[in-house]
């Protein structure tokens, strides 16, 4: 009697494990590359003694002054002419770590690094919460891990990543309430409030949650608004009263930078180009995801974009304005992939067009890793230039007398207080909010022993709008009352031009 031939396994059952293995390997490869990129940026953040971004030095100098003297949010009617543009949470954390003995830049960078790690964890948890799909969750983690924007701003002593971490935590705890019915709405409100007290534009999460609640549960929406809006408003008004109006003067009125159309176009084009693959996936799957009950993150994405678009064109705006939108796009693209059944189709080697979405995922990952590699190399080269520049500037940074500098890093490295923050100073002078007379009189009296500028005042070159400089009248006084002592090469433009009073013969070292 002939033996029966064993039944052949079903073709789908045969191919599904192989498809999963291939996708796991893809995730492992890009996850490992992301880990290396993140480790490289962490290493630079820990070892760089100089700024990684010009605003980093300004915030660090303000936090250091707060730790030493308890001063923050200045009246702008007298020295120092520097605006504390952000809400207090980041300043408090950075100053607190500095008070515990950490270098001021490292203190702030540790806050941002912690926020970055929290964002990665929350992205993974939120995708898993909505989909129950570990492949979608790990895809979100890897996509965020390769994103150069998160590497850049997640290692800079600046408020953005901390604010986004709080906002994402708010969305996560709201989502637990929405999906599982857990009693986490108060936690969502608390984290939303923390975000607003870190950065005043962190409104996307609380606004989205309120809108979602008002449609389904109006009573809970009002309670949520009472905690976030009521308590937040009370804190803001209380701080403003305690500081005699200086709080709102800094965080609101002095923060209304003029709009630059060129900046707006550049920001939109840069964000659209970098995010194009993920925006495509998000657009293709948004409808199915929303119908499947995953609409809340898409409302959050809409809110983040509504904040980004009108603010990204401000003078002084950088790519940090798009961080929250980028995080929201990564989140929604993974939900879209799940809603389109990308993962089971890919695992079965389906011939559906949906499996072709692996291409934009790969394009985004490869482009992002390339961009973050160049950014890392640029940071390393910039730090070397800074080290050489600060060493060459030592006689001037340690000279007796006052220092007026268009370069914030030099002020921080000299352990000096900011006398004038040039960009915001000139804008506020033009707006009539700052009287230029005190600085003008001091320049006329040669009150500063050293002035550091990015220009040769005798040969003005028409500096870029966002290059720190003083008013034309003040530059004319520097031209007449000061002389060029040296030009010191550095990472920005042609380096720093060092000026001294016309009657001074040589730099005098400061008395220890």
**Alpha helices per DSSP H over 75-159:** 88-99, 104-131, 134-146, 148-153
Residues 6+ apart with CB under 8 A from 508: 399, 400, 449
Region for 269 from its dihedrals, namely left if φ exceeds 0, alpha if ψ lies in -120 to 50, beta otherwise:
alpha
Q: Which of 188, 219, 192 is nearest to 203 (CA)?
A: 192
* Domain boundaries defined on the chain: 13-378, 392-501
Q: Which residues contact 483 (CB under 8 A, 6 or more apart)?
A: 499, 500, 501, 502
pLDDT band at 505 (very low <50, low <70, confident <90, very high): low
Contact 205, 163 (CB under 8 A): no
Mean pLDDT across the stretch 9-31? Answer: 72
Asked whether residue 16 carries a pLDDT value surpassing 70, the answer given is: no
Instruction: Give the neighbor-by-neighbor strand order of the sheet with 482-488.
Output: 402-405, 448-453, 496-501, 482-488
The pLDDT assigned to 427 comes to: 86
Q: Give the pLDDT of residue 48.
A: 96
Q: Residue 185 pLDDT more than 50? A: yes
From CA 39, how far away is CA 46, in angstroms rounded?
10
- Residue 3 confidence class, pLDDT cut points 50, 70, 90: very low
pLDDT at residue 460 above 90?
no
- pLDDT score for 510: 41
**Proportion of the chain above pLDDT 70, given as a percent:** 93
Query: What mean pLDDT do residues 484-500 have?
Result: 92
pTM of the model: 0.91
Note if the bond before 192 is cis, omega within 30 degrees.
no
Q: pLDDT, tens digit, for every residue of 411-437?
A: 999 999 999 999 889 888 988 889 999
Between vectors from CA 105 to CA 102 and to CA 107, what angle results, nearest 5°?
45
How high is the pLDDT of residue 508? Answer: 47
Comparing C-alpha atoms, which of 343, 339, 300 is closest to residue 178? 300
- 3-class DSSP state of 418: coil
Does position 207 have pLDDT exceeding 70, yes or no?
A: yes
Q: What whole-number distance in Å separates Cα of residue 379 and Cα of residue 410?
A: 17
Q: Is the pLDDT of residue 271 over 80?
A: yes
- What confidence score (pLDDT) does residue 99 get? 95
Q: Please state, in angstroms and rounded to a whole number, the distance separating the CA atoms of residues 95 and 67.
A: 5
371-409: pLDDT as tens digits: 999 999 999 999 999 999 999 999 999 999 999 999 999
Strand boundaries in 296-426, DSSP class E: 402-405
Strand ranges in 320-406 using DSSP code E only, listed in sequence order: 402-405
> pLDDT for 133-163, tens place per residue?
999 999 999 999 999 999 999 999 999 999 9
Cβ pair 230, 279 in contact under 8 A: no
Residue 455: per-residue pLDDT? 87
pLDDT tens digit string along 84-110? 999 999 999 999 999 999 999 999 999
**Structure confidence at residue 17 (pLDDT):** 56
pLDDT given for residue 52 in this prediction: 95
Statement: residue 126 has pLDDT above 80: yes
Q: Which residues contact 237 (CB under 8 A, 6 or more apart)?
A: none
Residue 322 has pLDDT above 70, yes or no: yes
Nearest-CA neighbor of 303 among 325, 286, 321, 334?
Answer: 325
Identify the three-state secondary structure at position 132. coil
The mean pLDDT value of the chain amounts to 91
Residue 258 has pLDDT above 90, yes or no: no
| Separation between Cα atoms, residue 457 and residue 477, nearest integer Å | 10
| Angle at 363 (CA atoms; ends 360, 366), nearest 5 degrees | 150
**What DSSP letter does each residue of 7-38 carry, written as one string?**
PPPPHHHHHHHHHHHHHHHHHHHHHHHHHHHH
């Amino acid at each position: 009697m002939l033996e029966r031939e064993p039944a052949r396994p079903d073709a789908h059952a045969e191919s599904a494990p192989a498809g999963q293995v291939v996708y796991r390997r893809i995730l492992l490869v890009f996850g490992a590359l992301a880990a290396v990129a993140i480790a490289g940026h962490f290493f630079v953040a820990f070892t760089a003694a100089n700024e990684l971004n010009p605003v980093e030095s300004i915030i660090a100098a303000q936090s250091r002054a707060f730790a030493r003297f308890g001063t923050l949010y200045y009246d702008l009617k007298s020295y120092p002419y520097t605006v504390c543009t952000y809400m207090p949470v980041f300043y408090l954390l950075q100053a607190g770590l500095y008070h515990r003995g950490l270098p001021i830049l490292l203190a702030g960078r540790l806050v941002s690094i912690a926020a970055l790690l929290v964002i990665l964890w929350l992205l993974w948890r939120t995708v898993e919460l909505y989909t129950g799909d570990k492949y979608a969750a790990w895809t979100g983690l890897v996509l965020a891990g390769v994103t150069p924007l998160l590497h850049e701003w997640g290692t800079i002593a600046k408020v953005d990543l901390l604010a986004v971490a709080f906002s994402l935590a708010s969305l996560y705890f709201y989502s637990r309430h929405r999906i599982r019915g857990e009693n986490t709405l108060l936690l969502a409100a608390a984290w939303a409030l923390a975000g607003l007290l870190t950065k005043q534009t962190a409104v996307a999460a609380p606004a989205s949650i309120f809108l979602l609640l008002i449609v389904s549960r109006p009573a809970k929406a009002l309670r949520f608004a009472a905690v976030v809006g009521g308590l937040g408003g009370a804190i803001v008004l209380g701080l403003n009263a305690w500081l005699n109006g200086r709080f709102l003067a800094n965080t609101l009125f002095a923060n209304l930078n003029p709009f630059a159309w060129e900046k707006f176009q550049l920001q939109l084009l840069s964000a659209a180009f970098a995010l194009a693959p993920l925006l495509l996936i998000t657009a293709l799957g948004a409808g199915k995801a929303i119908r499947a009950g995953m609409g809340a993150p898409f409302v959050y994405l809409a809110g983040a974009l509504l904040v980004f678009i009108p603010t990204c064109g401000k003078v002084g705006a950088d790519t940090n304005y798009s961080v929250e939108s980028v995080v929201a796009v990564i989140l929604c693209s993974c939900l879209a992939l799940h809603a389109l059944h990308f993962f089971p189709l890919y695992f079965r080697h389906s011939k559906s067009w949906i499996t072709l979405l692996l291409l934009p995922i790969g394009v985004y990952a490869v482009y992002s890793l390339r961009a973050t590699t160049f950014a890392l190399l640029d940071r390393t080269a910039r730090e070397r230039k800074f080290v050489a520049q600060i060493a060459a500037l030592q006689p001037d940074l340690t000279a007796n007398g006052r220092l007026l500098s268009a370069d914030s890093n030099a002020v921080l490295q000299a352990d000096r207080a900011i006398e004038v923050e040039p960009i915001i100073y000139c804008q506020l002078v033009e707006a009539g909010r700052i009287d230029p007379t005190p600085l003008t009189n001091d320049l006329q009296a040669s009150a500063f022993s050293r002035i550091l500028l990015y220009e040769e005042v005798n040969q003005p070159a028409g500096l870029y709008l966002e290059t720190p400089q003083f008013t034309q009248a003040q530059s004319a006084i520097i031209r007449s009352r000061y002389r060029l002592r040296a030009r010191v090469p550095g990472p920005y433009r042609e380096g720093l031009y060092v000026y001294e009073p016309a009657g001074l013969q040589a730099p005098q070292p400061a008395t220890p």
